[in-house]
Amino acid sequence: MATTFLSTAKPFLSSSTPSSLSSLTNRPLLFSCPQQKCNPRRPLPSCKALSDESLPVPAASPIIITKRSLSICFLTSFVFSLASRGSSSSNAAILEADDDEELLEKVKRDRKKRLERQGVISSANKEKGYLQDLVYKLSKVGQAIDNNDLSTASSVLGGSTDTDWVKKANIAFTKLSSSPEEKIEVDTFNSSLSSLISSVTSNDIESSKTAFVSSATAFEKWTTLTGLFGQLKGL
């Protein structure tokens, strides 16, 4: 179809006379050069229309404003983020300083208590003597029970917790115990010792062994808590 159209248009172009082509090319242009004046007989609206069409269309201002707004928002958010980071860092530094100061105060308090405890223990020679006697008695009772000799264990323990050595041991417990954990171990020891005396008196070897282990363990924990573990012989 395109070949037919071209073959039809060819005779038409060849039939046009050179004079008509020259007449078209020799016509004066409306705006051939900016220095030439417009023909006053020519209608100006066509000139205006041509100039309006030739002028470049300015870029839409809302796009520029939008980009600027985005840039401002980005910079503002960035500044605020830096400010918030600086504020959080400052707060963290303050909290860390407070924690360090609190930890330091705790260390000072613990050291003061430890020194006070060492001073009390160093001056409690009589109470340490009571406790040393308790260690010797528990050692003899343990050997007797291990040999199934409950009569010897009974003679060492006595018939009740109202014996002199038990009373003196509790005097030392009262003076040298300061923390709740230490007092709990003292109560456990006294309860286990009462069960031990009762089991030995009843000639119950198995219950005697269980009660002895419980009382010895409670006493050992108490000496560890108070710092007396290395100061008593036989432990």
Interacting residues of 145 by C-beta distance below 8 A, sequence separation 6+: 153, 200, 205, 208, 209, 212
pLDDT score recorded for residue 78: 57
Domain ranges of the chain: 70-123, 125-231
pLDDT of residue 8: 42
Contacts of residues 174-182 at CB distance under 8 Å and 24 or more positions apart, as own/partner, are: 175/120, 175/124, 175/127, 176/120, 176/121, 176/124, 176/127, 176/226, 176/228, 177/222, 177/226, 178/113, 178/117, 179/225, 181/225, 182/222, 182/225, 182/226
- Pairwise CA distance, residues 191 & 153, whole Å: 17
CATH of span 125-231: 1.20.120
CA–chain centroid gap for 28, Å, is 88
What amino acid occupies position 2?
A: A
User: Could you give the CA distance from residue 134 to residue 173 in angstroms, rounded to a whole number?
Assistant: 11
What's the pTM value of the predicted model, to 2 decimals? 0.55
Q: Which of 156, 131, 164, 136 is nearest to 208 (CA)?
A: 156
From first to last of its 235 residues, what are the pLDDT tens digits of the chain?
444 433 444 443 444 444 443 443 444 444 444 444 444 455 444 444 444 444 454 454 444 556 556 556 555 665 556 556 655 666 666 666 667 788 888 888 777 777 777 777 777 889 999 999 999 999 999 999 999 999 999 999 998 999 999 999 999 999 999 899 999 999 999 999 999 999 999 999 999 999 999 999 999 999 999 989 888 888 7
